Amino acid sequence: MVKQGKIIVLDGLDGCGKSTQFETLGKLLTEQGKTVKSISFPMYDKPSAALVKMYLHGDFSDTPGGVNAYAASSFYAVDRYANYKLDWEKNYAAGEIILASRYTTSNAIHQMSKLPPEQWDDYLRWLEDYEYNKLELPRPDLVLFLSLPLALSQKLLSKRYDGDAAKKDIHEADLAYLEQCSRAAAYAGAKLGWQFVEVSDGEHLYPIEQIRDNLYQRIQEALEC
Protein backbone atom coordinates (compact mmCIF):
# COMPACT_ATOMS: atom_id res chain seq x y z
CA MET A 1 0.00 0.00 0.00
CA VAL A 2 1.35 3.43 -0.95
CA LYS A 3 1.92 5.66 2.03
CA GLN A 4 0.74 9.21 1.50
CA GLY A 5 1.98 12.35 3.12
CA LYS A 6 0.11 15.44 4.20
CA ILE A 7 -0.24 18.59 2.11
CA ILE A 8 -0.36 21.83 4.06
CA VAL A 9 -1.06 24.94 1.95
CA LEU A 10 -0.36 28.55 2.87
CA ASP A 11 -2.16 31.09 0.73
CA GLY A 12 -3.23 34.72 0.87
CA LEU A 13 -3.13 37.94 -1.07
CA ASP A 14 0.26 39.51 -1.76
CA GLY A 15 1.78 41.38 1.17
CA CYS A 16 0.31 39.11 3.86
CA GLY A 17 3.68 37.73 4.97
CA LYS A 18 3.15 34.35 3.35
CA SER A 19 6.76 33.91 2.21
CA THR A 20 8.14 34.71 5.66
CA GLN A 21 5.78 32.27 7.39
CA PHE A 22 6.41 29.61 4.74
CA GLU A 23 10.13 29.69 5.45
CA THR A 24 9.71 29.93 9.22
CA LEU A 25 7.24 27.04 9.43
CA GLY A 26 9.38 24.80 7.25
CA LYS A 27 12.31 25.29 9.61
CA LEU A 28 10.17 24.80 12.71
CA LEU A 29 8.61 21.58 11.48
CA THR A 30 12.04 20.23 10.56
CA GLU A 31 13.40 21.14 13.99
CA GLN A 32 10.50 19.22 15.52
CA GLY A 33 11.65 16.08 13.73
CA LYS A 34 9.25 16.18 10.78
CA THR A 35 10.35 15.35 7.25
CA VAL A 36 9.25 18.33 5.17
CA LYS A 37 9.33 19.06 1.45
CA SER A 38 8.74 22.76 0.83
CA ILE A 39 7.35 23.83 -2.53
CA SER A 40 6.29 27.24 -3.81
CA PHE A 41 4.12 28.01 -6.83
CA PRO A 42 4.54 29.20 -9.49
CA MET A 43 8.00 27.69 -9.92
CA TYR A 44 9.37 30.60 -11.92
CA ASP A 45 12.79 29.03 -12.43
CA LYS A 46 11.34 25.98 -14.22
CA PRO A 47 10.30 25.72 -17.90
CA SER A 48 6.78 24.72 -16.82
CA ALA A 49 6.11 28.28 -15.61
CA ALA A 50 6.82 29.89 -18.99
CA LEU A 51 3.15 30.65 -19.73
CA VAL A 52 2.60 31.92 -16.19
CA LYS A 53 5.47 34.37 -16.57
CA MET A 54 4.18 35.56 -19.94
CA TYR A 55 0.72 36.05 -18.46
CA LEU A 56 1.92 38.00 -15.42
CA HIS A 57 4.26 40.09 -17.55
CA GLY A 58 1.27 41.17 -19.65
CA ASP A 59 2.26 39.46 -22.88
CA PHE A 60 -1.30 38.20 -23.52
CA SER A 61 -3.10 41.22 -22.07
CA ASP A 62 -2.15 44.18 -19.91
CA THR A 63 -5.02 43.43 -17.50
CA PRO A 64 -5.85 40.19 -15.65
CA GLY A 65 -9.32 40.05 -17.17
CA GLY A 66 -7.89 39.99 -20.68
CA VAL A 67 -7.05 36.30 -20.21
CA ASN A 68 -10.10 34.25 -19.30
CA ALA A 69 -10.27 32.36 -16.02
CA TYR A 70 -10.06 28.89 -17.53
CA ALA A 71 -7.07 29.60 -19.79
CA ALA A 72 -5.09 31.30 -17.02
CA SER A 73 -6.00 28.51 -14.57
CA SER A 74 -4.52 26.01 -17.01
CA PHE A 75 -1.20 27.88 -17.10
CA TYR A 76 -0.82 27.47 -13.34
CA ALA A 77 -2.20 23.92 -13.23
CA VAL A 78 0.33 22.70 -15.81
CA ASP A 79 3.16 24.18 -13.74
CA ARG A 80 1.88 22.29 -10.69
CA TYR A 81 1.48 19.04 -12.60
CA ALA A 82 4.98 19.15 -14.10
CA ASN A 83 6.63 19.82 -10.78
CA TYR A 84 4.55 17.21 -8.97
CA LYS A 85 5.70 14.55 -11.43
CA LEU A 86 9.32 15.71 -11.62
CA ASP A 87 9.99 16.87 -8.08
CA TRP A 88 7.76 15.98 -5.15
CA GLU A 89 5.50 13.05 -6.07
CA LYS A 90 8.03 10.67 -4.50
CA ASN A 91 8.14 12.73 -1.30
CA TYR A 92 4.37 12.65 -0.99
CA ALA A 93 4.26 8.92 -1.65
CA ALA A 94 6.91 8.38 1.04
CA GLY A 95 4.67 9.99 3.64
CA GLU A 96 6.46 13.33 3.96
CA ILE A 97 4.80 16.62 4.84
CA ILE A 98 4.43 18.79 1.75
CA LEU A 99 4.41 22.45 2.76
CA ALA A 100 3.15 24.52 -0.18
CA SER A 101 3.14 28.26 -0.66
CA ARG A 102 0.12 28.59 -2.97
CA TYR A 103 -1.52 25.63 -4.68
CA THR A 104 -4.75 24.94 -6.56
CA THR A 105 -6.24 27.36 -4.04
CA SER A 106 -4.61 30.28 -5.84
CA ASN A 107 -6.62 29.58 -8.97
CA ALA A 108 -9.77 29.78 -6.86
CA ILE A 109 -8.64 33.17 -5.55
CA HIS A 110 -7.13 34.85 -8.59
CA GLN A 111 -8.92 33.29 -11.54
CA MET A 112 -12.42 32.67 -10.19
CA SER A 113 -12.55 36.37 -9.36
CA LYS A 114 -12.70 37.16 -13.09
CA LEU A 115 -16.10 35.49 -13.34
CA PRO A 116 -19.46 36.83 -12.15
CA PRO A 117 -20.40 35.39 -8.73
CA GLU A 118 -23.25 33.33 -10.19
CA GLN A 119 -20.60 31.29 -12.04
CA TRP A 120 -18.35 30.67 -9.04
CA ASP A 121 -19.87 27.33 -8.03
CA ASP A 122 -19.46 25.98 -11.57
CA TYR A 123 -15.86 27.20 -11.65
CA LEU A 124 -15.00 25.55 -8.33
CA ARG A 125 -16.48 22.25 -9.51
CA TRP A 126 -14.47 22.52 -12.74
CA LEU A 127 -11.26 23.43 -10.90
CA GLU A 128 -11.44 20.57 -8.43
CA ASP A 129 -12.28 18.06 -11.16
CA TYR A 130 -9.54 19.38 -13.46
CA GLU A 131 -6.65 19.53 -11.00
CA TYR A 132 -7.52 16.74 -8.54
CA ASN A 133 -9.27 14.23 -10.81
CA LYS A 134 -8.06 14.76 -14.36
CA LEU A 135 -4.49 15.90 -13.55
CA GLU A 136 -4.48 13.65 -10.46
CA LEU A 137 -2.81 16.18 -8.18
CA PRO A 138 -3.27 15.31 -4.51
CA ARG A 139 -5.79 17.30 -2.51
CA PRO A 140 -4.51 19.42 0.37
CA ASP A 141 -5.18 18.25 3.91
CA LEU A 142 -5.17 21.79 5.30
CA VAL A 143 -5.42 25.21 3.68
CA LEU A 144 -4.40 28.19 5.80
CA PHE A 145 -5.42 31.52 4.27
CA LEU A 146 -3.57 34.51 5.74
CA SER A 147 -6.19 37.25 5.96
CA LEU A 148 -5.10 40.87 5.58
CA PRO A 149 -7.12 44.02 4.76
CA LEU A 150 -6.49 45.08 1.17
CA ALA A 151 -5.44 48.62 2.16
CA LEU A 152 -2.70 47.25 4.40
CA SER A 153 -1.68 44.73 1.74
CA GLN A 154 -1.18 47.56 -0.75
CA LYS A 155 0.84 49.56 1.77
CA LEU A 156 3.17 46.61 2.37
CA LEU A 157 3.51 45.90 -1.35
CA SER A 158 4.52 49.51 -1.94
CA LYS A 159 7.33 49.08 0.58
CA ARG A 160 8.41 45.87 -1.15
CA TYR A 161 8.94 47.74 -4.42
CA ASP A 162 10.29 50.94 -2.83
CA GLY A 163 7.25 52.84 -4.07
CA ASP A 164 7.86 51.91 -7.73
CA ALA A 165 4.44 50.78 -9.01
CA ALA A 166 5.98 49.77 -12.35
CA LYS A 167 7.53 46.75 -10.63
CA LYS A 168 4.13 45.23 -9.86
CA ASP A 169 2.81 42.43 -12.06
CA ILE A 170 -0.62 42.75 -13.69
CA HIS A 171 -2.31 41.21 -10.64
CA GLU A 172 -0.64 43.48 -8.09
CA ALA A 173 -1.23 46.61 -10.15
CA ASP A 174 -5.01 46.23 -10.50
CA LEU A 175 -6.74 47.29 -7.27
CA ALA A 176 -10.29 46.50 -8.45
CA TYR A 177 -9.12 43.02 -9.43
CA LEU A 178 -7.53 42.50 -5.99
CA GLU A 179 -10.75 43.58 -4.28
CA GLN A 180 -12.61 40.94 -6.27
CA CYS A 181 -9.91 38.39 -5.36
CA SER A 182 -10.54 39.09 -1.69
CA ARG A 183 -14.26 38.38 -2.17
CA ALA A 184 -13.49 35.24 -4.18
CA ALA A 185 -11.15 33.96 -1.47
CA ALA A 186 -13.82 34.40 1.20
CA TYR A 187 -16.35 32.52 -0.92
CA ALA A 188 -14.03 29.69 -1.99
CA GLY A 189 -12.67 29.25 1.52
CA ALA A 190 -16.13 28.94 3.01
CA LYS A 191 -17.15 26.39 0.36
CA LEU A 192 -13.96 24.34 0.51
CA GLY A 193 -13.19 24.41 4.23
CA TRP A 194 -10.12 26.63 4.40
CA GLN A 195 -9.00 28.04 7.73
CA PHE A 196 -8.75 31.83 7.77
CA VAL A 197 -5.97 33.28 9.92
CA GLU A 198 -5.96 36.99 10.72
CA VAL A 199 -2.40 38.33 10.50
CA SER A 200 -3.00 41.94 11.49
CA ASP A 201 -5.03 44.21 13.75
CA GLY A 202 -6.23 46.05 10.66
CA GLU A 203 -3.40 48.59 10.66
CA HIS A 204 -0.25 46.63 11.46
CA LEU A 205 0.92 43.06 11.00
CA TYR A 206 1.02 40.97 14.15
CA PRO A 207 4.52 39.89 15.25
CA ILE A 208 5.97 37.14 13.07
CA GLU A 209 6.26 34.80 16.06
CA GLN A 210 2.60 35.27 17.00
CA ILE A 211 1.42 34.42 13.50
CA ARG A 212 3.83 31.48 13.31
CA ASP A 213 2.58 30.00 16.58
CA ASN A 214 -1.03 30.30 15.44
CA LEU A 215 -0.26 28.58 12.14
CA TYR A 216 1.87 25.89 13.78
CA GLN A 217 -0.91 25.02 16.23
CA ARG A 218 -3.33 24.50 13.35
CA ILE A 219 -0.81 22.39 11.44
CA GLN A 220 -0.15 20.21 14.47
CA GLU A 221 -3.88 19.57 14.82
CA ALA A 222 -4.12 18.60 11.14
CA LEU A 223 -1.13 16.24 11.39
CA GLU A 224 -2.71 14.44 14.33
CA CYS A 225 -5.87 13.64 12.37
Q: How far apart are alpha carbons 133 and 129 in whole angstroms?
A: 5
Tell me whether residue 53 is exposed, middle or buried, using C-beta atoms within 10 angstroms of its C-beta: 0 to 12, 13 to 18, 19 or more. middle
Whether cis (ω within 30° of 0) applies to the bond prior to 42 is yes
- Each of the 225 residues of the chain gets a pLDDT tens digit; together they read 446 899 999 999 888 899 999 999 999 999 999 999 999 999 999 999 999 999 999 999 988 889 999 999 999 999 999 999 999 999 999 999 999 999 999 999 999 999 999 999 999 999 999 999 999 999 999 999 999 998 888 787 766 655 555 555 566 667 788 889 999 999 999 999 999 999 999 888 999 999 999 999 999 999 987
So what's the pLDDT on residue 1? 40
Instruction: Give the per-residue pLDDT at 3.
Output: 61
Reported as a single tens digit per residue, the pLDDT across 181-212 is 999 999 999 999 999 999 999 888 999 999 99
Can you list the domains of the chain with their CATH numbers? 6-223 (3.40.50.300)
Contact between residue 146 and residue 11 where contact means Cβ atoms under 8 Å apart: yes
Number of Cβ within 10 Å of residue 166's Cβ equals 6
Q: Give me the pLDDT at residue 178, please.
A: 86
- pLDDT value of residue 155: 80
Q: What pLDDT score was predicted for residue 201?
A: 93
